[in-house]
C-alpha cells in the first residue's frame, strides 16, 4: 500500500509500546498548537494492551490528559458495562485508571433499541464536536480481523460503499454480536493519522492480502483505508507478519 509505514515488532507488548509512543507524540503536537487531541478508539485485545501501556507509570505522566477527547470507531449493540462493549474496555483500562472525565468521552450508544436513531445521534454528536465539518480525527486506532474487516466494516457489507453518512448501523455482522454501529470509510480516510495494530498468527493471511494481495476491498475492507496525504501506519507483530513476502524489518517502508 503506497505511502504506508509498516513496522514489525516482536509481540503484542512491543506493538502496544510503539503505539503508545506514537500516541504521546501526536498528542504533544496537537497540544503544542493549543488544540484538543481528538482520537477514535477501537475494540479488541491489542487496544487493551495499548490502553494499559498508556495508563502505566512510564507513559501516563507524558500526556496532558485533560486535553484529550475520545470517540469510538465502532461499538457493539450491548450495554456499556457488557464484556463485549468497546466502551467498557476503554473505561476499565484507560478512562478510570487515568481519571478521564465523562465530558471528554463521546460514547457510541449502540445499546439504544433503535440502532438507526443511535447512528444518527452519534453523527450529530460528531457534527457538534467538529463544527459541522467532516470529522478530522488527529488519530484513528484500528484493528483488523482474520477476515480483513476493520471497525465494524465487514466483507460484502453494504456499509462499505457508504459515501454520505458518517455513522451507520450494521445489523448482520458475521461475528457476534451482529448489531453494531460503525464510522464509515470517508470518516476514517479523513483522519490526520490512522494506526492499524495487528497481532497474532490468525491475522497473517489477511495482512498479506491487504498489504500485498490483489483481492478486492469488498473482500478485505481494511484495503479501503488510505487517508491520502495523512499518515497510515501499521504496527504488527512477528506472527501477523509471518506470511508477508518480503518480511520487512521493524523500520520497513511500504512503497
The region that residue 228 occupies, defined by phi over 0 for left and psi between -120 and 50 for alpha, beta otherwise, is left
Of the listed ranges 7-11, 35-39, 112-116, 248-252, the one predicted with least confidence = 248-252
Q: pLDDT per residue over 173-193, tens digit each? A: 999 999 999 999 999 999 999
- The CA distance from 45 to 76, in Å, is 15
Residue 40 pLDDT grade (very low, low, confident, very high; cuts 50, 70, 90): very high
Fold of 25-45+52-139: Rossmann fold (3.40.50)
Regarding predicted confidence, which is higher, 254 or 131? 131
Residue 68 pLDDT grade (very low, low, confident, very high; cuts 50, 70, 90): very high
- The CA distance from 39 to 123, in Å, is 16
Residue 1 pLDDT grade (very low, low, confident, very high; cuts 50, 70, 90): low
Is 201 in contact with 240 (CB distance < 8 Å)?
Answer: yes
On the question of pLDDT at 213 being above 70, the answer is yes
On the question of pLDDT at 246 being above 90, the answer is no
pLDDT computed for residue 253 by the predictor: 42
Of the listed ranges 90-99, 106-115, 164-173, 245-254, the one predicted with least confidence = 245-254
- The domain locations on the chain are 25-45+52-139
**For range 217-243, the mean pLDDT:** 93
pLDDT computed for residue 163 by the predictor: 97
Amino acid at each position: 500500500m503506497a505511502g504506508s509505514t509498516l513496522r514489525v515488532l516482536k509481540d503484542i507488548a512491543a506493538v502496544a509500546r510503539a503505539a503508545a509512543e506514537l500516541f504521546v507524540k501526536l498528542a504533544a503536537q496537537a497540544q503544542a498548537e493549543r488544540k484538543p487531541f481528538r482520537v477514535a478508539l477501537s475494540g479488541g485485545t491489542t487496544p487493551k494492551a495499548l490502553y494499559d501501556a498508556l495508563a502505566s507509570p512510564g507513559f501516563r505522566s507524558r500526556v496532558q490528559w485533560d486535553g484529550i477527547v475520545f470517540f469510538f470507531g465502532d461499538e457493539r449493540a450491548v450495554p456499556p458495562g457488557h464484556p463485549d462493549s468497546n466502551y467498557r474496555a476503554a473505561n476499565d483500562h484507560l478512562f478510570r485508571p487515568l481519571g478521564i472525565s465523562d465530558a471528554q468521552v463521546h460514547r457510541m450508544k449502540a445499546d439504544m433499541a433503535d440502532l438507526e436513531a443511535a447512528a444518527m445521534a452519534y453523527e450529530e454528536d460528531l457534527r457538534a464536536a467538529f463544527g459541522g465539518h467532516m470529522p478530522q480525527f488527529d488519530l484513528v486506532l484500528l484493528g483488523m480481523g482474520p477476515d480483513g474487516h476493520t471497525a465494524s466494516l465487514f466483507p460484502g457489507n453494504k456499509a462499505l460503499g457508504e459515501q454520505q453518512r458518517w455513522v451507520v448501523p450494521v445489523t448482520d455482522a458475521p461475528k457476534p454480536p451482529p448489531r453494531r454501529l460503525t464510522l464509515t470509510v470517508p470518516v476514517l480516510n479523513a483522519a490526520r493519522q490512522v494506526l492499524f495494530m495487528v497481532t497474532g498468527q490468525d491475522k497473517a493471511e489477511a495482512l498479506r492480502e491487504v498489504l500485498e494481495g490483489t483481492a478486492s476491498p469488498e473482500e478485505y475492507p481494511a484495503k479501503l483505508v488510505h487517508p491520502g496525504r495523512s499518515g497510515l501506519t501499521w504496527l504488527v507483530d512477528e506472527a501477523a507478519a509471518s506470511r508477508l513476502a518480503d518480511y520487512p524489518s521493524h523500520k520497513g517502508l511500504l512503497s
